[in-house]
Amino acid sequence: MVQHARRDIPAIAVTALLAVGSASPASSDLDDLTRGAPRQRGPCALAHADSRVEIRSGEGESVSVCRADGAGDCLHSRALGKTFLHARPDLNMDGRNDFLIKDVSGVYGMHEVVHFMGFVDCPGNFGVKVMDDFFTDLDASGPLRGEEWREITATRACFDEHLGEAVTREYTVRFDRARSSYGAPDGNPALAEFCSASELAMPIQPQAE
């Protein structure tokens, strides 16, 4: 009679398997690693040479936004008097003051909005754009709420033809790690286009007294 080999796993093998299992990262550890990855590979690390800028200050809060490598003309020139420093918050909480800049060179119909850009100040003396949108005002001085990137409070005043006046709505703009930049207001893709039909159809928020 042929005797089949036993399929029992020796005790030493079981011990080894348990040791390997206990060495694997717990789910909370994996979450911590995932949360740390965007900071390690954030906008500064991911920026190509043609997207790195130098922001030059002028008189009366005017600024120029130029390529850091000096190639080509400045993207926004203080000589035209259309681009201004709005604020210097620390957007990514790395201890460096970043830039919120407003560009008033465009015409946006009857809407009371301005082209706003946000740039992080990177080690190596260059900046990288992390926000590009149209708002009436921005405030990045609020609480952190446990996030690595500061939330921005934004307002938009859009002209409503039915009411015959501009209506102001307030939004929260948060950093989108997948895009490595700030996302749409309130995380709503329908608000990516300023003063669109979708935005004008939204309920009017009551004004605080």
| pLDDT value, residue 142 | 77
* Calpha distance 30→36 (Å, rounded): 10
In a domain, 22, yes or no: no
In a domain, 21, yes or no: no
In a domain, 37, yes or no: yes
Structural domain including 126 reads 27-200
In a domain, 3, yes or no: no
| pLDDT value, residue 21 | 39
In a domain, 209, yes or no: no
At 151, list the tokens.
């939330």
Q: pLDDT tens string for the chain (209 positions)?
A: 434 433 344 443 333 333 333 333 333 333 333 344 444 468 999 999 999 999 998 888 999 999 999 998 898 988 888 999 999 999 999 999 999 999 998 888 899 999 999 999 999 999 999 999 999 999 998 777 777 899 999 999 999 999 999 999 999 999 999 999 999 999 999 999 999 999 999 988 765 44
What is the strand order of the sheet 114-122 is part of? Answer: 63-67, 52-57, 126-135, 114-122, 99-103, 83-87
Question: What would the 3-class secondary structure string for 18-79 be?
Answer: HHHHHHCCCHHHHHHHHHHHHHHCCHHHHCCHHHEEEEEECHHHEEEEEECCCCCCCCECHH
Q: How many domains does the chain have?
A: 1
| pLDDT value, residue 144 | 73
- Is residue 27 exposed (0-12), middle (13-18) or buried (19+ Cβ within 10 Å)? exposed
| pLDDT value, residue 68 | 95
In a domain, 7, yes or no: no
In a domain, 82, yes or no: yes
Grouping H, G, I as helix, E, B as strand and the rest as coil, residue 169 is: strand
| pLDDT value, residue 113 | 96
Instruction: Tell me the residue type at 21.
Output: G
In a domain, 17, yes or no: no
| pLDDT value, residue 72 | 87
